[in-house]
Amino acid sequence: MSINLIATTTFGLEAVVKRECQALGFENIKTSDGKVEFTGTEADIVKANMWLRCAGRVWVKMGTFKAVTFTELFDQTKALPWADWIPEDGKFTVVGKSVKSTLFSVSDCQAIVKKAVVEKLKQTYHTDWFDETGASYTIQVGILKDVVTLAIDTSGSGLHMRGYRANALDAPLKETLASAMIQLSYWRKNRILLDPFCGSGTIPIEAAMIARNIAPGIHRKFASEEWERIGKDLWKKARVEAYQAINYDVMPEIYGSDIDPDAIELAKANAEKAGVDDCITFEVKPCQEIVLPGKYGVMITNPPYGERIGELKEVENMYRALGGIMKENPTWSTYLITSMEYFESLFGRKADRKRKLFNGHIKTDYYQFEGPRPPKDL
């Protein structure tokens, strides 16, 4: 029986995640704000978690219905087949959110859903008491304009947690967003990539992982690894296949630099953990001094935005300097994310394309300046 699945995404990345789902062979894909729905099997849950580079989490969609009273919420929640997923010893918690809905008290909705699920499981397992000593199941009750969606989280921690990054720097870019920035660019593994504000190395590392076909989930654990219905064998098989799929012979030419020596140390350590340290050159360097390595390269970067007190003038100068460097290297393409609304006037060129994205809670634009296509053999 096919399972209804949801891959959640940050605002603006739905189309990217949709393309990833298509490439993974999932069926009945449809997108709406912040999510991509598709159908699949237990093996597809494993595959989605292991391979989706840009999604936030993967959920089993249990049901969706309209509810404006607690009774409607309780009854329709109880009607769903919870025991299909949650075993008798399952430990489960309910999280929630409510937007523009009559049922606006999230804590009350969570309590009602928990009660309804317990009631259903009591009936199914013919028991009054649950030890909750087994695997964990996080149920989400999401209400948008009175329409309730109930789903169980198969991922656990968000999919941006790849397992290679120690979160020691401030303002790191989420790995999922870094990967999306790369996938939205024209960078391919045979072209040079440079991030002159690389911080902890997220963009270079994600690019190298794409080039070598390293599954984003290979170094981490997922909530549904403990689930009876999926079983350990599917996970083991997916991990073995993911290891076999890696191509260490691919040697992309990737560079990362940053003014902060601690950031560069961290980036090197992260790249090593991710298994890509041999194809990324990291260097301590202010952006004003970068020398672009070669022709037809691609710069993908997440510079400071000038939002911190006292930082604005310095950041404006940086953007100007970067614009000057890119002007002198017209075969290069630039992809840059920032919240600064007048970025193009400092950079000195109008973007060929611009896409609205959220970097955490910060509203940003992803500016895309395309250089000429490289000759065929590049």
Cα(115)–Cα(94) distance, integer angstroms = 10
Nearest approach in angstroms of CB 311 to ligand SAM is 9
Nearest approach in angstroms of CB 262 to ligand SAM is 9
Cα(282)–Cα(305) distance, integer angstroms = 22
CB closer to ligand SAM, 124 vs 288: 288
Residue 217, CB-side half-sphere exposure with 13 Å CA sphere: 32
- C-beta atoms surrounding 6 within 10 Å: 24
CB closer to ligand SAM, 111 vs 269: 269
Residue nearest ligand SAM (C-beta atom)? 199
Query: Within the chain, where are the H helices?
Result: 14-23, 42-51, 70-78, 106-125, 175-183, 202-211, 232-245, 261-274, 312-328, 343-347
Residue 258 burial by CB count (10 A; 0-12/13-18/19+): exposed, middle or buried? Answer: buried
296 contacts 194 by C-beta, under 8 angstroms: no
Nearest approach in angstroms of CB 355 to ligand SAM is 17
CB closer to ligand SAM, 117 vs 325: 325
Nearest approach in angstroms of CB 84 to ligand SAM is 39
The tokens of 292 are what?
């672009």
Q: Tokens 């910060």 — which residue?
A: 362
Which parts of this chain interact with ligand SAM (CB under 6 A)? 169, 171-173, 196-200, 202-203, 258-260, 263, 286-287, 302-304, 318
Q: Each residue of 231-256: b (16+ CB within 10 Å) or e?
A: eeebbeebbeebeeeeeeeeebbbbb
CB closer to ligand SAM, 151 vs 210: 210
Nearest approach in angstroms of CB 110 to ligand SAM is 33
CB closer to ligand SAM, 10 vs 140: 10
Which of helix, strand or coil describes residue 143? strand
Nearest approach in angstroms of CB 260 to ligand SAM is 4
Cα(27)–Cα(215) distance, integer angstroms = 21
Cα(141)–Cα(121) distance, integer angstroms = 17
Which of helix, strand or coil describes residue 189? coil
CB closer to ligand SAM, 60 vs 287: 287
CB closer to ligand SAM, 173 vs 210: 173
CB closer to ligand SAM, 151 vs 322: 322
DSSP string, 249-287: T----EEEEES-HHHHHHHHHHHHHHT-GGGEEEEE--G
Q: How many helices (H) and strands (E) does the chain have?
A: 10, 14
Residues 6+ apart with CB under 8 A from 233: none
Nearest approach in angstroms of CB 271 to ligand SAM is 12
Cα(319)–Cα(15) distance, integer angstroms = 29
Nearest approach in angstroms of CB 56 to ligand SAM is 17
Nearest approach in angstroms of CB 185 to ligand SAM is 15
Which of helix, strand or coil describes residue 209? helix
CB closer to ligand SAM, 141 vs 207: 207
CB closer to ligand SAM, 160 vs 212: 160
Nearest approach in angstroms of CB 178 to ligand SAM is 6
